[in-house]
């Protein structure tokens, strides 16, 4: 692996078989991280370590194995990157191991390169089976369900809404309000959140998470939420199917849900005139929560008459927190129909991981302006159809740039094996940030196919760019001089039958054997698994792999 292809870092102790309790997983400051700590999710473990002798020229090498196994596997090294003026960075070195098995213990070894300084730890990923204590069966109702009684780590309190509809008919702001921990909401159909008042204030959520931690929302169908902004005639900004502004909300899991068709249409950047930021409802809005969330296997969609602002997002973008919050995973989702960011992943982005999503009919596919702590990992996503307004103009695969101030652009970002897929004429007009400022970013093995190869940027060449490493990508647009020394200029040729199948929620995005980029990628430890031959293909879908699955189809067990 080339020296330019990088590093990551260390985190929290995990408990095998369940999500660790908040009181047993306190945040630790960087000066306390001389011993590595690990923060897990179902498929990933974030790592944090501040070894003596750490320095910018020294990476931390990472290897791991299932407990009891003999062979070690390599993970992406961790890069030294303490962030001044905050202890939210947690350690000098930060990074992630990905594609792990749920409910499994792993041995991890960390080595400071060029030294004899090493550390060993054992951490376990979360189990997908939650222990259930009391079950509360909920029936149809037209008033909000308020949940204030918590379960325990040994027995979650399950609210069973299967077969039930809560339709508050726009007489109340929420269908369900939660201020409790160790709670499961399962199988609800929710409608009509958002009271129709003449002067709406604040943000509403069909599910409003006022406080608590360790909350699971699964198999729910949420629609017809939100309020009308009488000043604009469009939906109120950020009104959400699932909403929280709780600074203590930690370990929220949203899985196998359908979030679709809000009550009102959102406005584009061009309505009523440009430049006016888009406005409208969102599927999920999280503001400066405590992080460690998982958003997976959901279908978040609508139509051109009921568009979103962002599909997933929140704030604060210029901060050390933001959305979704540290050590969070977003994967396997179907995302569509917004006039701004399909996935707004902005703020601290400390060990935030985004992969295997299908994103379409959005302006910016993924917003990542800015990443203040990092590292942020974005890999194996497929994006198509980018529009700022109906019938014309497109945005970027990755927004990049900064929020409020360039000073927030201090975190590292890793962009691997993504595909900008030509489903129709509306390809993105920018790959890595258009020509916005990009810093501390590594790009490998992506298909950066933009609409106009002569005028559009596959990767930004802004003069203020700093500390970037773009290589081994298939691209047709403009790229910075001196970059992509192993990249391939050209346009992808896909295997017969390529594309997304809306009926099955599956997709085939493999390159044809004679395509530019086939077998021309670089092997990235822990990220390039599943290829055949001496080197991986560029793009999200390796030849010989089964169809990619998104939404509820991806969550089937």
533 burial via Cβ count (<10 Å: 0-12, 13-18, 19+): exposed
Contact 287, 244 (CB under 8 A): yes
The pLDDT of residue 4 is: 38
* Any domain includes 299: yes
* Closest C-alpha among 347, 346, 350 to residue 326: 350
Per-residue pLDDT at 32: 59
In a domain, 398, yes or no: yes
Instruction: Establish if 541 belongs to a structural domain.
Output: no
Three-state DSSP state, 244: strand
Place of tokens 């169809």: 547
Q: Which two tokens stand for residue 218?
A: 């699964």
pLDDT recorded at residue 210 = 98
Question: Could you count the other beta carbons within 10 Å of the beta carbon of residue 26?
Answer: 7
Both 29 and 173 in one domain: the answer is no
Q: Answer whether residue 31 is part of any domain.
A: yes
The number of folded domains in the chain is: 2
Examine residue 504 and state whether it is found in any structural domain, yes or no.
Answer: no
For residue 15, tell me if it sits in a domain. Answer: no
Pair 351, 293: CB distance under 8 Å:
no
Q: Are 187 and 161 in contact (CB under 8 A)?
A: yes
Tell me the residue range of the domain where 106 lies: 22-124
Choosing from 489, 515, 534, the residue where a domain stops is 489
Beta bridge partners of 457: 430, 478
- Number of other CB atoms surrounding residue 150 within 10 Å: 17
Please give the pLDDT value at position 14. Answer: 30
Rounded Cα distance between 153 and 440, Å, is 39
Q: Residue 547: count other Cβ atoms within 10 Å of its Cβ.
A: 17
User: Residues 106, 123: contact at Cβ < 8 Å?
Assistant: yes
Instruction: Report the CATH number at residue 193.
Output: 2.160.20.10
Same domain, 103 and 194: no
Please check whether residues 80 and 189 belong to one and the same domain.
Answer: no
Residues 110 and 155 in one domain: no
One domain, residues 107 and 235: no
Residue 45, domain CATH: 2.60.40.10
pLDDT digit string (tens) for the chain, length 557 residues: 333 333 323 322 232 333 333 333 344 454 457 899 999 999 999 999 999 999 999 999 999 999 999 999 999 999 999 999 999 999 999 999 999 999 999 999 999 999 999 999 999 999 999 999 999 999 999 999 999 999 999 999 999 999 999 999 999 999 999 999 999 999 999 999 999 887 788 999 999 999 999 999 999 999 999 999 999 999 999 999 999 999 999 999 999 999 999 999 999 999 988 889 999 999 999 999 999 999 999 999 999 999 999 999 999 999 999 999 999 999 999 999 999 999 999 999 999 999 999 999 999 999 999 999 999 999 999 999 999 988 887 899 999 999 889 999 999 999 999 999 998 889 999 999 999 999 999 999 999 999 999 999 999 999 999 999 999 999 999 999 999 999 999 999 999 999 999 999 999 999 999 999 999 999 999 999 889 899 999 999 999 999 999 999 998 76
Predicted confidence at residue 314, as pLDDT, reads: 96
Both 119 and 139 in one domain: the answer is no
Contact between residue 267 and residue 310 where contact means Cβ atoms under 8 Å apart: no
Question: Are residue 113 and residue 172 in the same domain, yes or no?
Answer: no
Q: Are 82 and 30 in contact (CB under 8 A)?
A: yes
**Shared-domain flag, residues 247 and 184:** yes
For 285, the token pair is 């809005």
The pLDDT score that the predictor gives to residue 393 is 76
| Rounded-to-integer distance, Cα 229 and Cα 231, Å | 5
Residue 316, preceding peptide bond in cis (omega within 30° of 0): yes
Q: Does one domain contain both 156 and 175?
A: yes
Contact between 510 and 503 (Cβ < 8 Å): no
Q: How many CB atoms lie within 10 A of CB 85?
A: 9
CA distances, 505 to each of 7, 127, 554 (Å)? 34, 26, 8
Is 443 a member of any domain? yes
Do 429 and 332 fall into the same domain?
yes
Domain boundary among 108, 124, 140: 124
Cα(425)–Cα(418) distance, integer angstroms:
19
DSSP state at residue 528: S
The answer to the question of residue 8 being in a domain is: no
Q: 171 and 259: one domain? A: yes
85 lies in the same domain as 213: no
* Of 124, 148, 182, the domain-final residue: 124
24 Cβ partners below 8 Å, 6+ apart? 15
Q: How many CA atoms lie within 13 A of 307 on its CB side?
A: 25
């Amino acid at each position: 692996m080339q020296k330019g292809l990088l590093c990551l870092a260390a985190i929290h102790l995990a408990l095998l078989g369940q999500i660790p309790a908040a009181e047993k997983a306190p945040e630790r400051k960087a000066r306390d991280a001389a011993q590595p700590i690990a923060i897990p999710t179902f498929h990933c473990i974030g790592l944090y370590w501040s070894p003596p002798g750490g320095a910018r020229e020294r990476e931390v090498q990472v290897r791991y194995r299932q407990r009891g196994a003999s062979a070690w596997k390599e993970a992406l090294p961790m890069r030294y990157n303490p962030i001044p003026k905050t202890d939210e960075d947690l350690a000098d070195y930060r990074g992630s191991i990905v594609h792990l098995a749920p409910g499994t213990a792993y041995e991890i070894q960390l080595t400071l390169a060029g030294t004899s300084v090493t550390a060993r730890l054992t951490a376990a990923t979360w189990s997908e089976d939650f222990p259930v204590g009391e079950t509360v069966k909920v029936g149809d109702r037209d008033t909000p369900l308020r949940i204030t009684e918590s379960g325990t780590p040994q027995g979650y309190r399950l609210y069973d809404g299967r077969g039930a509809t809560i339709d508050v008919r726009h007489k109340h702001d929420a269908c369900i309000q939660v201020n409790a921990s160790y709670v499961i909401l399962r199988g609800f159909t929710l409608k009509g959140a958002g009271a129709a008042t003449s002067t709406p204030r604040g943000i509403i959520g069909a599910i409003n998470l006022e406080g608590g931690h360790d909350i699971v929302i699964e198999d729910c169908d949420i629609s017809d939420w939100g309020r009308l902004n009488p000043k604009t005639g469009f939906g109120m900004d950020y009104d959400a199917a699932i909403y929280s502004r709780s600074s203590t909300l930690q370990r929220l899991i949203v899985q196998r849900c359908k979030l679709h068709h809000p009550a009102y249409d959102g406005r584009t950047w061009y309505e009523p005139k440009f430049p006016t930021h888009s406005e409208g409802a969102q599927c999920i809005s999280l503001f400066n929560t405590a992080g460690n969330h998982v958003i997976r296997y959901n279908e978040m969609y609508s139509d051109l008459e009921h568009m979103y602002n962002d599909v997933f997002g929140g704030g604060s973008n210029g901060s050390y927190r933001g959305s979704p919050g540290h050590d969070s995973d977003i994967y396997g989702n179907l995302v569509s129909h917004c006039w701004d960011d399909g996935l707004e992943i902005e703020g601290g982005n400390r060990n935030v991981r985004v992969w295997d999503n299908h994103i379409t009919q959005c302006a910016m596919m993924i917003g990542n302006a800015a990443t203040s702590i990092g590292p942020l990992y974005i890999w194996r996503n497929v994006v198509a159809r980018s529009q700022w307004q109906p019938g014309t103009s497109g945005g970027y695969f990755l927004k990049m740039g900064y929020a409020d101030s360039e000073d927030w652009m201090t975190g590292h970002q890793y962009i691997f094996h993504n595909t900008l897929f030509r489903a129709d004429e509306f390809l993105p007009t920018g790959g890595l940030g258009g020509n916005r400022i990009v810093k501390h970013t590594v790009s490998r093995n992506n298909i950066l196919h933009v609409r106009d190869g002569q005028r559009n940027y596959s990767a930004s060449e802004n003069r203020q760019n700093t500390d970037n490493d773009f290589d081994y990508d298939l691209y047709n647009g403009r790229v910075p001089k001196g970059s992509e020394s192993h990249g391939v200029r050209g346009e992808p040729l896909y295997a017969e039958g390529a594309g997304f199948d809306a009926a099955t929620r599956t997709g085939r995005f493999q390159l044809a054997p004679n395509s530019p980029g086939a077998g021309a990628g670089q092997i990235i430890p822990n990220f390039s698994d599943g290829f055949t031959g001496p080197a991986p293909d560029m793009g999200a879908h390796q030849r010989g792999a089964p169809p990619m699955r998104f939404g509820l189809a991806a969550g089937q067990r």
